[in-house]
Copies of this chain bind each other. A is one copy, B any other.
Amino acid sequence: MTMSIAEPDQSELARLLQQAGSPYDPQSVETLIEGVLAAPVEGGTNWHALIADPMTPALADRLEALRAAKAKAYHNGLSTEDFNRLPRAARLDRLRQELSAQGLDGFIVPRADEHQGEYVPPRGQRLAWISGFTGSAGVAIVLRDRATLFVDGRYTLQAAAQVDTQLFEIHHLIDEPPSRWIGTALAPGSVLGYDQWLHTPQEIERFRAGAERAGAVLRAVSDNPVDRVWPGQPAAPIAPVRPHDERFAGESAQAKRTRLGRALAEDGVKAVVLTMSESIAWLLNIRGGDVPHTPLPLSFAILRQDGSVTLFIDRRKLVRGLERHLGNEVSIAAPEELGPAMDALAAEGGRVQLDPATAACWIFDRLEAANAKIHRAADPCLLPKACKNLVEVDGTRAAHRRDGAALTRFLAWLAHEAPKGKLTEIAASDRLEAIRREGEHFRDLSFSTISGAGSNGAIVHYRATPETEKRLEPGTLYLLDSGAQYLDGTTDVTRTVAIGAPTQEMRDRFTRVLKGHIALALARFPRGTTGTQLDAFARAALWQEGLDYDHGTGHGVGSYLGVHEGPQRISKAPNGQALLPGMIVSNEPGYYKTGAYGIRIENLVLVQPAAGEGEREMLGFETLTLAPIDRNLVEASLLDEDEIAWLDAYHTRVRETLTPLVDPDTAHWLAEVTAPIAIAPST
């Protein structure tokens, strides 16, 4: 796929590379840039360090020119141009020809990559390429004479706008799951293919049951038919992988490896295959940049009883000094070596641990084919990663002070700007991002900011675009959900602000959401309690009025890692994981009135031992997020004494903590908006 550029440039580039002591030749640099183009742009010129370190100014200029030229010549797989290059109908035709050639009657195209993570790099965006649908969840099933796209309730409008319904029927992912749909759609005797890399065994089990109902069979294919017909499929992303300093991680990678290796020995397990890049980043204290907003180095790893690790990763991603950081007990192998390594593990004997909820079928199948004894169990990094150590906790507190100061500066500015009536959603979120970027240890946003004015605030996963954005107008609410990645912690905060005077209904709804938020913040619960048990506390005040919200109340948050991480959650969905000290979760009840406004109040909270008397070991939450809650939206007569006391104490803490960190104008505004609630509750 590489499209070389003109010869003269190459010799000049070769000279500059040699001068800078780079191991690369011009051709290799071009190939590497294809991976750089498939990684998020937020890395800037970080990738230069992969070519030569230190870099020379002349080479740096040359590299940027080359990157720009290649970016033009070789479009990112997800750009508009690429999508338009080959009409969607032609793509489907080609895929169907390929299915025929492979003896398949259909193929499953999920929105997933080999790591089953939240973000899928451009190379893995097969669902978007074939269907046009770019949402974060969905799956298509392409049969000989029909094709169906399954999306959930969040994405029905978006799918209808992006997808040609002459080519794809659109079905509801939850109400009519594809695994059930195929039970009637497949002809008896037909063969439905799937890519073993893109599904967990649990998923395939459901599809298999559906196929059996139809008298059809599933077949694993080694050569993804979409890849075979996708011209210019992007390369795998290449972004620098760097050490994550122990002063942020709080525990050396060696200590983690030894500890987890010992636990494997106790379970009678010889080795565990890690497939989640978050787990590997945590275990080895490394961070990368292969996907947006989460510092992941996409990779696989094997951890053994003795604490030694084999890391399967493209060596070109490793910055100078990374191998020294990893140490002698960590060896590097190319991703292609994973298969032979599975064979070798099986040949050695002993049980090999693998997580059936997150690992790809391919690994199970390879191990089984080699007669390995597989021990199915959860990824052993999940729980220790979720329970932050004292250094991580201190770091996240510091990150939240910094983030709270930035958000408060923005809110003070907003209070001044919004009444002018000209501010738009994107301008507002750009301003906030600019302020955040000034903060120490800032690396990236932790997700695309949700900046929703008026009715856009009622769209739970809204992303402002020039076509959709609104002005912040008097008499409306503005919902702002944002966060950042700092070296010492990950933040995620939502504030809802009244622009001008809110209606009484808005104040009533906001106050009920706040009551739920406070009920959770004040909750005290015995060790062993799950988030599922606490979820209703955040909803009760809405339920009393026949209202509710259709999302979870809280997700786990990492430490300079994923802004969404398990295994804990606070939600209606059954979840067996107890909340444990050191876990960080969001507390974010909301209320949404379609076409009118959205309300959400989100703080991150830390699970901590709870003070006080009693017979049981009790836990509670420490609120980490620091930013004022709009008192203009609080109907104090709906709050009881404890709730008012919580709000006033929280505001006092916000004021006292942030005042030294902000400019005088902001401090003045902050003092005003964090004054105690005046009205006593009616009795």
Q: Is A22 an interface residue (CB 8 A)?
A: no
Q: Give 1 or 0 for each of A562-574: 1 = CB within 8 Å of chain B CB.
A: 0000000000101
Q: Is the CB of A548 within 8 A of B616?
A: yes
Q: Is the CB of B575 within 8 A of A574?
A: yes
Q: Is A546 an interface residue (CB 8 A)?
A: yes
Q: Is A545 an interface residue (CB 8 A)?
A: yes
Residues of B within 8 A of A618 (CB): 543, 546
Q: Give 1 or 0 for each of A501-539: 1 = CB within 8 Å of chain B CB.
A: 000000000000000000000011110111011111100
Report the separation of the CA atoms of residues A533 and B616 in the bound assembly, to the nearest whole angstrom.
21
Q: Is the CB of A543 within 8 A of B572?
A: no
Residues of B within 8 A of A524 (CB): 543-544, 546
- How many Å from the CB of A52 to the closest CB on chain B? 53
Residue of B whose beta carbon sits closest to that of A546: B614
Q: Is the CB of B533 within 8 A of A572?
A: yes
Q: Is A540 an interface residue (CB 8 A)?
A: yes
- How many Å from the CB of A554 to the closest CB on chain B? 14
Of the candidates B526, B530, B548, B575, which one forms a contact with A543 in the assembled complex, judged by CB atoms under 8 Å apart? B526
Instruction: Given the known inter-chain contacts A533-B536, A536-B533, A574-B574, please indicate yes or no for A268 contacting B213, CB distance below 8 A.
Output: yes
Residue of B whose beta carbon sits closest to that of A614: B546
Residues of B within 8 A of A523 (CB): 540, 543
Q: Is A81 an interface residue (CB 8 A)?
A: no
Of the candidates B529, B544, B546, which one forms a contact with A615 in the assembled complex, judged by CB atoms under 8 Å apart? B546
Q: Give 1 or 0 for each of A602-625: 1 = CB within 8 Å of chain B CB.
A: 000000001011111010000000
Q: Is A576 an interface residue (CB 8 A)?
A: yes
- How many Å from the CB of A186 to the closest CB on chain B? 14
Residues of B within 8 A of A612 (CB): 545-546
Report the separation of the CA atoms of residues A575 and B528 in the bound assembly, to the nearest whole angstrom.
16
Q: Is A334 an interface residue (CB 8 A)?
A: no
Q: Is A547 an interface residue (CB 8 A)?
A: yes
Q: Is A2 an interface residue (CB 8 A)?
A: no
Q: Is A683 an interface residue (CB 8 A)?
A: yes
Residues of B within 8 A of A547 (CB): 614-616
Residues of B within 8 A of A532 (CB): 532-533, 574
Instruction: Given the known inter-chain contacts A545-B614, A547-B616, A618-B543, please indicate yes or no for A529 contacting B572, CB distance below 8 A.
Output: yes
Of the candidates B268, B546, B572, which one forms a contact with A613 in the assembled complex, judged by CB atoms under 8 Å apart? B546
Residues of B within 8 A of A615 (CB): 546-548
Q: Is the CB of A537 within 8 A of B534?
A: no
Report the separation of the CA atoms of residues A547 and B544 in the bound assembly, to the nearest whole angstrom.
26
Residues of B within 8 A of A528 (CB): 572
Residues of B within 8 A of A610 (CB): 546
Q: Is the CB of B533 within 8 A of A535?
A: yes
Residues of B within 8 A of A574 (CB): 530, 532, 574-576
Residue of B whose beta carbon sits closest to that of A617: B546
Residue of B whose beta carbon sits closest to that of A519: B540
Q: Which of A545, A546, A615: most chain B Cβ within 10 A?
A: A546
Residue of B whose beta carbon sits closest to that of A572: B533
Residue of B whose beta carbon sits closest to that of A613: B546
- How many Å from the CB of A539 to the closest CB on chain B? 8
Residues of B within 8 A of A537 (CB): 536, 540
Q: Is the CB of B533 within 8 A of A548?
A: no
Residues of A participating in the B interface, judged by any CB pair closer than 8 Å: 213, 268, 523-526, 528-530, 532-537, 540, 543-548, 572, 574-576, 610, 612-616, 618, 640, 683
Q: A523-B543, A529-B572, A537-B540 are in contact. List 14 more A-B contacts (CB 8 A).
A: A524-B544, A525-B536, A525-B543, A529-B536, A530-B572, A532-B532, A532-B574, A534-B536, A545-B612, A546-B612, A546-B614, A574-B575, A574-B576, A640-B640
A-B contact pairs, 11 of them (CB 8 A): A526-B548, A528-B572, A529-B536, A532-B533, A537-B540, A543-B618, A545-B612, A546-B614, A546-B616, A548-B615, A574-B574
Interchain residue pairs A-B with the least CB separation, the first 9: A546-B614, A574-B574, A533-B536, A683-B683, A546-B618, A524-B543, A526-B548, A548-B616, A525-B543
